[in-house]
Amino acid sequence: MEKQNYNHLTRTFQRLSRFEHLSAIAGWDMFTNMPPNGSAARGDALAELSVLRHQILTDKKIATLLQAAVQENLNDVERANLREMTRQYQEAILLPASLVEEKSLVGTRCEHGWRTQRPANDWQGFSANLKEVVRVSREEAKLRADAKGKSCYDALLDIYEPGMTSAKLDVLFGDLRTWLPDLLQKVVDKQEKETVVTPTGPFATQDQRELGLETMKLLGFDFNGGRLDVSAHPFCGGVPQDVRITTRYDESDLVSALFGVIHETGHARYEQNLPREWLGQPVAQARSTAIHESQSLFFEMQLGRSKEFLKLLLPMVTARFGKQPAFEAANFIAVNQRVERGFIRVDADEVSYPAHVVLRYEIERALIDGDIEVEDIPALWDEKMQHWLGLSTKDNFRNGCMQDIHWTDGAFGYFPSYTLGAMYAAQLFNSAKLALPQLESDIAEGNFTALFDWLRQNIWQHGSRFTTSELITNATGEDLNPLYFRKHLEARYL
């Protein structure tokens, strides 16, 4: 029978995707609804699912099937799917099942502790759990590095961003260093001369939630295939058929939750528009974490912070919170395009945001490569925050090195995706504007049909059919070019 080896593989990967579905929903529930005493049992259950998936993926038969399927008469999409299957298999066989289980268990324990340790500024308690996560992550990195002939950090980075290396990042981030601090200073100096009225709360959580839901609807979120909830750290999870996004509310701050929702909606629209006919196969998955972040930042920054979109948002805001001086159109735009040096990454404006990312990248790379230890993190964090943003986080662990969730489950290598994503987003938006001359007036009218069709045709519908480089070149005519990001920031803020 033609393609019988390939077809056997597709059945196996379909089965894997169903277990991943269960794991994703159990993980979402753990972050949103689960009572505290459920943590240990949930951790055990998720670890069991991780081991089961690992066993299915690393079965000796898989290697034989992959080799045989190469000889079969496959079309372009099937070849791409086979490439992605092979990649997943090769990543999985590098790790023993015992390490997969241990990583899941220590990650769940660290994340659960972090929820109460962060508000309490309890670095000692958190660092004890983080040391276990780092120990296991280094073990994983060493196994991957030895097999791939890469550095330990690059071996983990490759999981999130295939083909990316710290050498390439050093060039991209090195370029940022040459112009970003100066641009940041210029924008801050310029905005200091402008009078901006801060919105006055309180902003009731229920009203904020309704505003978020209305904005998601405006942005095309499919509520028959997803929902909005609350968690300690905003995220997008679930599966393409059932996308779960979360935010967190602060009744003194209108902007944080709203733009958290817009950011996560960008992730969600990508997931909801992945190729349905290939779902359950690796080729239908998102291309990479940087491409995923490019979609959330396309929504949050390129689109969401544009003057046209903010003017569209304003009547929705005043309908819920009434009129006040801060909600005059020019002021509302100024509030949402305000550039300030702050402690918190997820609340950072797009000019200072890369500083938060480069700082984390430098620390996590040194940590995984064994150049520093967990106890060195707070002092290094403080030093780098002072260098980039002129802020001290000494003894302020809650708003310093404990603010993010990523390290709790060993997601080392993820952080660079945010700034790579910002660069991709700027490049994509530039190409969309060239392809759609009416784009600005469309946005002003709340008509996103052409824009979302462009994203669907160029990014969403392709899943992992193309490499990251091929995908971005097909969409924009060139590989990643950070110049578009710089031009965007200069045009909007100077």
d(Cα 212, Cα 214) in Å, to the nearest integer?
5
Give SS3 for 268.
helix
2 is annotated as contributing to ligand binding: no
d(Cα 264, Cα 246) in Å, to the nearest integer?
7
Residues 6 or more apart whose CB falls under 8 angstroms from that of 238 comprise 24, 25, 28, 226, 244, 271
Q: Which residues pair with 477 in a beta bridge?
A: none
In order, the DSSP letters of 21-60 are HHHHHHHHHHHHT--GGGHHHHHHHHHHHHHHHHHHHT-H
- Residue 337 has a CB neighbour count (10 Å cut-off) of 19
What is the phi/psi pair of residue 226, to 5°?
175, 175
Give SS3 for 229.
strand
Task: Evaluate the omega torsion of the peptide bond into residue 202 and state whether it is cis, within 30 degrees of 0.
Answer: yes
Residue 10 CA, distance from chain mean position: 28
d(Cα 447, Cα 219) in Å, to the nearest integer?
10
d(Cα 296, Cα 273) in Å, to the nearest integer?
14
From 26, 47, 493, 77, select the one nearest 278 (Cα to Cα): 77
Give, for 472, the enclosing helix (H) or strand (E). Answer: helix 468-476
Give SS3 for 193.
coil
292 is annotated as contributing to ligand binding: no
Q: Are 434 and 146 in contact (CB under 8 A)?
A: no
- Residue 45 has a CB neighbour count (10 Å cut-off) of 17
d(Cα 199, Cα 70) in Å, to the nearest integer?
60
Give, for 237, the enclosing helix (H) or strand (E). Answer: strand 236-239
- Residue 249 has a CB neighbour count (10 Å cut-off) of 19
Give SS3 for 128.
helix
406 is annotated as contributing to ligand binding: no
192 belongs to the catalytic site: no
From 95, 4, 13, 75, select the one nearest 284 (Cα to Cα): 13
Selecting among 84, 111, 161, 264, the annotated active-site residue is: 264
- Active-site residue list: 264
Annotated binding site for Zn(2+): 263, 267, 293
Annotated binding site: 263, 267, 293
